[in-house]
A and B are shown apart, each in its own frame.
Chain A
Amino acid sequence: MSATLTHPVDQVPMPENQGESYLTKGKGVMSWLLTKDHKRIGLLYLMSITAMSLLGGFFAALIRLELITPGGDLLSAESYNKAFTMHGVIMVFFVLIPATPAVLGNFMLPIMIGARDLALPRINLLSWYIFIIGACFTLYSMISGGVDTGWTFYTPYSSTYANSAVITAALGAFISGFSSILTGLNFIVTVHKMRAPGLTWFRLPLFVWGNYATALVQILGTPVVAMTILLVAMERLFGFSFFNPNTGGDPILFQHMFWFYSHPAVYLMILPAMGVISELVTCFSRKRVFGYSFIALSSVAIAVFGFLVWGHHLFVSGQSVYGGMVFSVLTFIVAIPSAIKVFNWTATLYKGSISYEAPMLYAFGFFGLFLIGGLTGLFCANVAVDVHIHDTYFIVAHFHYIMVGGAIMGYLGGLHFWWPKITGRMYPETAGRISAILVFLGFNLTFFPQFLAGYLGMPRRYHAYPEEFQFWNIMSSAGATVLALGYTLPMIYFTWSLFAGKKAPANPWGAKGLEWTIPSPPPLENFETIPIVTEEAYAYAPEEDEGDEVKHHV
């Protein structure tokens, strides 16, 4: 193991007698479509999520093109509304929520805890099929006329007034929710039951903690949004009255139910990304993480408190002032565990040995964007300020900083970090660094001006807008071009690396963690013998006074 540390990159010799790689064992399309291997399922998710993100990105491009000029000249109002709805539905339900857990979590989580697979491999495959069926429904709604309710499906617009394919789009989200529930369930069972001997809870890599907290939110929150969507569909199809005030329903009830899931959904996106960041920061500063248990438990705290803050979406909806007050204070409290994480990551860098490979640049980018996203959350938690910025571009900027800036920085950072492990190939380092920098710059140029436009009063979901906001919108659209380039580059060089990338050693970064003790790409069964864990996570340096380094497996 110490050899790993001293010669991180050219430590080529791979264990010879390990099993055949999961990529080569089993050939043909059916061997992929019927696989129960968590690694292959992770790759199935990777491909489907990438495809969905291209589609969501296409709609984002339409939006930014339309908003270059104040008049509604490129798209009709109707098409514009459909474009931002599809952008939201696809990105939230089919990209951001599944990205890190379903791709990286699926692939890495069992390996990181020394298991041969997830606890329920068939359920894992089933969850991917459910995801695909959900995606098909949503895509069908797009082809069959589109849907124009916004991804929030607010009633009574969605239930009574909207004249578009609400049901199919909502059912898409409904169905994909079950995929999310099953993945969460699978992760929880796996973490509880399949940890390698010696791998106690507080020896778990923080990425596992992040995914565990995520899984809790998935199984507790997702059923609520599923019910909500079902109620909307019943009202629309069969004339039940849940949300229509003319027949005794309550339109605000929908908002409570919707946000009870959809606010925690933001934590679904960011928690696993935070887990990735903990891995990156420790690896590229070669140092155990500062305040391990504070980072681990703050994930759980975020997951728990995340369920108690939904009402801050209803500050101007006619919720009582005292309701507003309570949700405001709880929202301020949920900011604290995130702050604790940032401070601990920063402290981890102190006296570290820091190198700047692409994954670490993504982590640095994450810090910048998550800081801005998190701090602007304070504005939204303050009721007086939120009354003004609610439903303006300030909110649009804020949640993109968290859900995209934070979550996708983490996801891409993790994808670069584990790409050699997943594929057995190195990606081109310079291109990786360029893309990290482009994404960071492009993101800020796209979304920072939206804070300003938002506080000036520009409402969101506007197809046309007053001229005084144009300057900020031009900046945004220009930034989106850079951002698109930054996001496209990895798709190109990752694909290229599959064919022409340098062969990856077992542990290219000199990282700690069980996944780096097995060959790249891993053999089908991950571990020939199940490892026995005898040390803390991130034990880069020998414990003081011990001198000898403890090995991962015996």
Chain B
Amino acid sequence: MAKDLQLFPDSASIGAAGVDANYLYILGVSVFFAVGISLAILYFALRYRRKSQDEIPKPIHGSLVLELTWTIIPFLLAMSMFVGGTVVFFRNYHAPANAMEVFIVGKQWMWKIQHPNGVREINEMHVPLNRPVKLIMTTEDVIHSYFIPAFRLKRDVVPGQYTTMWFQANKVGKYHLFCAEYCGTQHSGMIGWVHVMEEADYEAWLSGSIRGETMQQAGERLFNRLGCATCHKADNTGRGPTLVDVFGKAVKLQNGTTTLADEAYIRESVLKPASKIVSGYAVEMPTFQGQISEEGLLQVISYIKSLSKSAPAGGAAASEAPAGKKGGN
């Protein structure tokens, strides 16, 4: 046990270094102040210990210079920490446009992972080395949190929302995956592993694991089975708007506003069709709440994405990342 006692976690992504740098900077400042103040207290306590019962020290009222000094210096240090943290946070938050997508659905008490080519995993996530990966995540029930300590990343999955995070692994290995937000009885069992693999190994694993259809194909099948295709016709002659070339674009709504057709918009339109009506169409679509699972939704989204040939691999995420290859180094 003591043999491999760790003081510092594994670091396996390009974003981890920035977090560690912030951590070590704050640690340095903290140790300096903690030791400095403790030594001062200790020194005063010994040097000025009471020597006789009736000594009365001279009162000191205070010093404006000192007050300003120990207000302004800590303030400036704190602001430097704020800037350092925020810069890294923004960098670690915005995924590059060329990131490959992996879809995560949490439920009590497991993680379901879908790769675009249809490979599905539970509590295990395989990712390639040196390629940006963007996770699009949601949950079937309560709030969970997808936490990979070796990447210094975590993000809550929230019912009714898609949250994202991205990383670029830079070290082959097997790393912990935890649920970090308390989610009920088996919370501590909602754990798994992230496998970072060499590109070639990853491709081999991927091709060896394909069973049946890709996410896009599964989505197309659902699209037909649920009857979406009868109204949302490709040539725009149906009762609903066509979905070709819609994803990632601005959509004009009936109330005059526009909205970005991203994952959240499609999800909302499937489950609550009346909430955002496309300009020129009536509220005819029934809700599919209860007829489609979170994973099925992600498949349908994947299919609708594929209808937009112009949409980049990163989908709507492209709009989040102004400069493509800014990622974390």
Contact = CB atoms under 8 A, between A and B. Distances in A.
A336 B142 CA distance: 37
A388 B153 contact: yes
B149 A388 contact: yes
A355 interface: yes
Contacts of B45: 349, 354, 356, 364
A539 to B, nearest CB: 8
Q: Specify the main secondary structure of chain B where it touches its partner.
A: mixed
Given A157-B184, A321-B93, A388-B152, A468 B56 contact: no
Contacts of B8: 455-456
Contacts of B59: 287-288, 539-541, 543
B23 A6 contact: no
Contacts of A252: 158
A156 B142 contact: yes
Nearest to B163: A318
A215 interface: no
A462 B184 CA distance: 10
A281 B180 CA distance: 41
B9 A457 contact: yes
Contacts of A356: 45, 49
Interface string A121-156: 000000000000000000000000000111010101
B276 to A, nearest CB: 14
A308 interface: no
A437 interface: no
Interface string B25-60: 011011001100110110011001111011111111
Q: How many residues of B sit at the interface, in one of the four size bands?
A: 35 or more
B50 to A, nearest CB: 4
Contacts, number: 294
Interface string B69-90: 0110011001101101111111
Interface residues of A, number: 100
B200 interface: no
Contacts of A464: 188-189
A321 B89 contact: yes
B289 interface: yes
Nearest to B45: A354
A251 B78 contact: no
B78 A343 contact: no
Given A292-B62, A541-B56, A383 B147 contact: no
Contacts of A251: 143, 158-160
Interface in A446-466: 452, 455-457, 459-466
A375 interface: yes
Contacts of B185: 77-78, 81, 148
Given A252-B158, A291-B67, A352-B44, 20 more contacts: A72-B188, A156-B142, A286-B57, A288-B59, A290-B61, A335-B74, A336-B74, A340-B71, A353-B49, A354-B45, A367-B37, A371-B38, A376-B30, A378-B30, A383-B89, A384-B18, A385-B85, A387-B89, A455-B23, A463-B187
29 contacts: A7-B53, A157-B142, A245-B159, A252-B158, A290-B62, A291-B62, A293-B62, A317-B158, A318-B155, A318-B163, A321-B93, A329-B79, A333-B78, A349-B44, A353-B49, A356-B45, A384-B19, A388-B19, A388-B23, A388-B152, A388-B154, A390-B180, A456-B6, A457-B149, A459-B180, A464-B189, A471-B5, A539-B59, A541-B59
Interface of A: 5-8, 72, 77-78, 81, 148-150, 152, 154, 156-157, 160-162, 245-246, 250-252, 285-288, 290-294, 316-318, 321, 324-325, 328-329, 332-333, 335-336, 339-340, 342-344, 346-347, 349-356, 364, 367-368, 371-372, 375-376, 378-379, 381-388, 390-392, 452, 455-457, 459-468, 470-471, 539-541, 543-544
